[in-house]
């Protein structure tokens, strides 16, 4: 195994493997991902000026929630993840729905060695905070996208508000996600993510925050702040 392939936290793989069977239960342990998926999909489509006919890579695809949605919109989608249990669920769901997605158990760094400059769009959503070296992932995403292509990252900001909302509230009070899903020290400030993207040759075009509206009991996208969850849209020069 090469050094690049070691950018994996086995405890994180085990954590998601244990609950892999729940990926496609909209009321289960991945309920928040189902709730925010239409927002993520809409944001990607808008910022990328559509996805139909484009080749898209979804890094850290898990059970395929976003990957399938992109494929339904007419994109040619490849989904990669290092948790084989999650990929098995993704592949099974793809067979059930008839939505074609190419799922592969491979690290993003290894795929970048094999297929540099192959994708029009690369998405890496809610994944950077689960790996030991997020900068390595960002550089690999930059290598995989074509010049002028789009790269989308989403993660959690690192501050007191994000700790209270992303861990205390989401994991313990509201129980939106299983306890221990997140580690605060792995949260990434937008300034840090923008710097890493810039060093990888990616220019940040826009950023938006993902917020929970308690009055409507729904998630919304708004650029009024990026205090907790946020999405960064970059372009390869």
Per-residue pLDDT of the chain (237 residues; tens, 9 = 90+): 344 457 999 999 998 899 999 999 999 989 999 999 999 999 999 999 999 999 999 999 999 999 999 999 999 999 999 999 999 999 999 999 999 999 999 999 999 999 999 999 999 999 999 999 999 999 999 999 999 999 999 999 999 999 999 999 998 998 888 888 899 999 999 999 999 999 999 999 999 999 988 888 899 999 999 999 999 999 998
**C-alpha torsion angle, residues 189, 193, 194, 196 (rounded to 10):** 140
Residue 3 lies in a domain: no
d(CA 204, CA 82): 27
Residue 4 lies in a domain: no
173 is in an annotated binding site: no
73 is in an annotated binding site: no
CATH number at residue 213: 3.40.50.150
55 is in an annotated binding site: no
Sign of CA dihedral 23, 25, 29, 30: positive
d(CA 133, CA 128): 8
Residue 2 lies in a domain: no
Looking at the structure of the chain, the number of domains it has is: 1
SS3 of 215, please?
A: coil
Residue 25 lies in a domain: yes
Task: Name the E strands within 81-125.
Answer: 102-104, 119-125
Q: Which of 66, 80, 69 is nearest to 118 (CA)?
A: 80
For residue 155, what pLDDT is reported?
Answer: 98
- DSSP β-bridge partners for residue 221: 210
Specify the DSSP class assigned to residue 159. S
Full domain range(s) for residue 165: 10-236
Looking from the CA of 71 toward its CB, the CA atoms found within 13 Å total: 22
pTM of the model: 0.94
Residue 219 lies in a domain: yes
60 is in an annotated binding site: yes
Residue 5 lies in a domain: no
Q: Helix crossing, 31-47 with 65-72: angle to 10°?
A: 40
Residue 181 lies in a domain: yes
């Amino acid at each position: 195994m090469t050094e690049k392939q070691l950018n994996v936290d086995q405890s994180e793989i085990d954590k998601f493997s244990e609950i892999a069977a729940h990926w496609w239960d909209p009321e289960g342990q991945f309920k928040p991902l189902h709730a925010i998926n239409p927002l993520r999909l809409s944001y990607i489509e808008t910022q990328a000026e559509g996805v139909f006919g484009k080749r898209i890579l979804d890094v850290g695809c898990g059970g395929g929630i976003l990957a399938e949605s992109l494929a339904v919109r007419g994109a040619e989608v490849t989904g990669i993840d290092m948790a084989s249990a999650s990929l098995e669920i993704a592949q099974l769901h793809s067979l059930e729905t008839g939505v074609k997605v190419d799922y592969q158990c491979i690290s993003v760094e290894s795929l970048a060695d094999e297929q540099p400059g192959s994708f029009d769009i690369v998405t890496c959503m809610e994944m950077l905070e689960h790996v030991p070296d997020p900068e390595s992932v960002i550089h690999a995403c930059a290598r995989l996208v074509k010049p002028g292509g789009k790269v989308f990252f989403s993660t959690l900001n690192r501050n007191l508000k994000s700790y209270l909302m992303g861990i205390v509230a989401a994991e313990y009070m509201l129980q939106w996600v299983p306890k221990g899903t997140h580690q605060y020290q792995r949260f990434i400030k937008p300034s840090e993510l923008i710097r890493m993207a810039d060093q990888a040759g990616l220019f940040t075009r826009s950023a938006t925050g993902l917020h929970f509206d308690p009055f409507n009991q729904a998630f919304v996208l708004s650029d009024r702040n990026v205090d907790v969850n946020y999405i960064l849209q970059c372009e390869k020069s």
